Amino acid sequence: MAGRFAGKTVFITGASSGIGAAAAREFAREGAVLALAARRKDRLEALARDIEAMGGRALALECDVTRRESLDAAVAKAVEVFGGLDVVIANAGFGVTGVATALETEDFRRQFETNVFGVIDTFYATLPHLLRSKGRFAVIGSVSGRVATPASAPYTSSKFAVVGFAECLYHDLADLGVSVTCVNPGFVNSEIRSINNRGEYTGKPDPVPQFLVMSAEKAARQIVRGIYRRKPEIIITRMGKLSVFINRLCPCLVRVAMRAATKGRVHKTRKAKHGRPEA
Ligand SMILES: NC(=O)c1ccc[n+]([C@@H]2O[C@H](COP(=O)([O-])OP(=O)(O)OC[C@H]3O[C@@H](n4cnc5c(N)ncnc54)[C@H](OP(=O)(O)O)[C@@H]3O)[C@@H](O)[C@H]2O)c1
């Protein structure tokens, strides 16, 4: 297929749903061949069939980013079949939320295993191939990696960590010809807000008002364009851009507004532990 990524191989973690699946389709439209990695292989196989029906090529790879040997096996298979990697997107992630007083260290550890160490392991598992191709590495961070919100300490701190990781990589890889793009989405349509703190799908509808939520397809088009242009950062959604801009310009304003909007309500969201008031 012709397109901006014709003949290039793209490896995406978390390709079985949401942003990862939409990005895979968009890369296929741009001519790329796809290595699709996630734990739910049936979903990946269905996506691979869709991509092949569009005239593209895709490989479904069962992979858990919290297990390095699983990532290494997926990368080895992709390289064996496609001959190398040109673009890698560390996208797999989920959200552990709740007021900090109701959580434990273990909640943070579980969150960081996927959202932080999963990203770092994806980087090291694919680095030799990206160095060879002078390719592109992208991290899916979040607006929550730029602006802290109440009742989300594990997710927010995991995203601040990977945003920092991506910014450092940008400098460390620049002389080696590998570009690094940090993608920071605001609200995008996906399953993320229907997944509980243990990473299980609950089927609950998205509580975010739909007028604030961008379609995964539109987000994917912006992601593919930004990665193609080797942009250091892409912020997705108008609301996301506005929050990051105001937070950079005047963080105290965001703090005051957030405090006013949530005063007295944060502790009602979950049963509080550690001697804090219970809702
Ligand atoms: N949607 C938003 O509003 C939004 C906003 C900002 C940032 N983000 C970020 O965007 C990324 C994609 O999320 P999404 O919104 O598209 O959510 P999603 O629809 O729930 O997709 C998450 C993907 O991550 C995969 N995943 C989770 N744990 C994994 C693991 N241990 N190993 C391999 N794959 C794993 C899931 O696949 P399996 O369950 O099949 O493994 C799934 O494909 C995340 O990093 C998220 O933090 C999303």
Cα–Cα distance, 192 to 213 (Å, whole number):
12
The Cα 216–Cα 187 span in angstroms is: 10
- What is residue 255's predicted lDDT score, i.e. its pLDDT? 92
Residue 278 clears pLDDT 70, i.e. is over it: no
Number of independent structural domains in the chain: 1
User: Range of 184's domain?
Assistant: 9-268
Please check the confidence at residue 130 and state whether its pLDDT lies above 50.
Answer: yes
User: Is residue 137 in some structural domain?
Assistant: yes
Mean pLDDT taken over the chain: 95
Which residue puts its alpha carbon closest to atom 45 of ligand 1? Answer: 93
- pLDDT at residue 187, as a whole number: 98
Q: Catalytic: which of 155, 170, 201, 228? A: 155
User: What is the rounded average pLDDT of the residues 198-206?
Assistant: 96
The pLDDT tens digits of the residues spanning 11-69 come to 999 999 999 999 999 999 999 999 999 999 999 999 999 999 999 999 999 999 999 99
- Residue 85 to residues 35, 110, 117, 197, 206, Cα–Cα distance (Å): 9, 29, 21, 33, 35
Task: Give the model confidence (pLDDT) of 223-236 as tens digits.
Answer: 999 999 999 999 99
Model pLDDT, residue 50 = 98
Domain of residue 151, CATH code: 3.40.50.720
- Residue nearest atom 23 in ligand 1 by C-alpha distance: 14
Position 268 scores a pLDDT of 66
Q: Establish if 177 belongs to a structural domain.
A: yes
**For residue 269, what pLDDT is reported?**
54
Q: Is residue 29 part of a domain?
A: yes
Percentage of the chain modeled with pLDDT above 70? 96
The H or E element spanning position 180 is strand 179-185
Write the DSSP symbol of residue 181.
Answer: E
What local confidence, expressed as pLDDT, does residue 202 receive? 96
Q: Which of 89-98, 107-116, 166-175, 254-263 has the lowest mean pLDDT?
A: 254-263
Going from the Cα of 160 to the center of ligand 1, the distance in angstroms, rounded, reads 16
Collapsing DSSP to helix, strand or coil, 27 comes out as helix
Burial 57-85 (b: 16+ CB within 10 A, else e): bbbbbbbbbbebebbeebbebbbeebeeb
Q: Using pLDDT thresholds of 50, 70 and 90, give the confidence band for residue 276.
A: very low
Q: Tell me, in angstroms, the distance from the centre of ligand 1 to residue 252's CA.
A: 31
| Residue 273 resides in a domain | no
Would you say residue 132 lies in a domain?
yes
CB of 193 sitting under 6 A from ligand 1 = no
CA distances from 184 to 91, 124, 181, 222 (A): 11, 21, 10, 11
Find out whether 99 and 154 touch, Cβ atoms under 8 Å: no
Q: What is the mean pLDDT of residues 150-163?
A: 97
Is 182 within the bounds of a domain? yes
Q: Tell me if 274 is assigned to some domain.
A: no
Tell me whether residue 155 is one of the annotated catalytic residues. yes
Residue 275 pLDDT more than 50?
no
Structure pTM? 0.96
2 falls in which pLDDT band (50, 70, 90)?
confident
Judged against a pLDDT cut of 80, whether residue 185 lies above it is answered with yes
Please, which pLDDT band fits residue 86 given cuts at 50, 70 and 90? Answer: very high
* 72 has a pLDDT exceeding 70: yes
Residue 51 lies in a domain: yes
